[in-house]
Amino acid sequence: MTLSLFFFYLFAIVLVGAAVMVVSSRSPVHSVLFLILAFFNAAGLFMLAGAEFLALMLIIVYVGAVAVLFLFVVMMLDVDFAELRQGFLQYAPIGLVVGIILALELIMVAVGFVVTPEVASASAVAIDPTLSNTEALGRVLYTRYVFLFEGAGLVLLVAMIGAIVLTLRHKPGIRRQDVGAQVARTPAMSVENVKVKSGQGL
């Protein structure tokens, strides 16, 4: 057994075990911690496959931002998960249908690779073997697909602004900044000259 094959089995076994613990843990905090462990092992598998860009993105974006943020939210909010699980059986049929559809799609992809293995090697973009994975992706994204890449960024920006606008609630009685009123202020409105008599205060 080679060293790379040993690490493949090690990462794969830990990844499957962590994934099982994510869905079977009773505590959501433990589930998030196992999810972070699963992300790290998946990044190790990506590194073994030569996809270092996906491995680093998995650690930086998902582990460093999404999973940690979710962990902080779960720990800061006192959510009653027992109450949330009460309506689980109502949505079980919908979850079963979605699971069956996803399983069929995965089976179709696997069968497609077995029946026509040349599809995986066929690429619409010429790949330069001298370039690293990250540099090749960057050249493709910022040259051939630059408009689609910018469009996706614009869609995400609009979605973020829309989420902020929809969830922003102005509470009464809280002083807020009024830029128009600040700009319209004059020295006469801001400064008041008072002649104070000797020996007396304001």
Q: Please write the tens of the pLDDT for every residue from 84-117.
A: 666 667 778 888 899 899 999 989 888 877 777 6
Which residues have a Cβ under 8 Å from the Cβ of 139 and sit 6 or more positions away? 131
The two structure tokens encoding residue 108: 């179709």
Position with higher pLDDT, 197 vs 149: 149
Per-residue confidence (pLDDT) for residue 163, from 0 to 100: 85
Query: How many C-beta atoms lie closer than 10 Å to residue 104's C-beta?
Result: 10
Per-residue confidence (pLDDT) for residue 13, from 0 to 100: 93
Coil, helix or strand at residue 135: helix
Q: Calculate the average pLDDT of the chain.
A: 81
Alpha-helical regions (H) of 49-167: 52-57, 68-76, 81-84, 88-115, 118-121, 133-139, 146-167
User: CA neighbours within 13 Å on the CB side: how many for 176?
Assistant: 8
pTM: 0.59
Q: At 154, is the pLDDT very low, low, confident or very high (cuts 50, 70, 90)?
A: very high
Query: How many C-beta atoms lie closer than 10 Å to residue 85's C-beta?
Result: 9
Cα distance between residue 140 and residue 63, in whole Å: 26
Q: Please write the tens of the pLDDT for every residue from 35-58.
A: 889 999 999 999 888 888 888 888
Q: At 169, is the pLDDT very low, low, confident or very high (cuts 50, 70, 90)?
A: confident
Domains in the chain, CATH or no CATH each: 1-79 (1.20.120.1200)
Determine contact, residues 4/57, Cβ cutoff 8 Å.
Answer: no
Per-residue confidence (pLDDT) for residue 155, from 0 to 100: 95
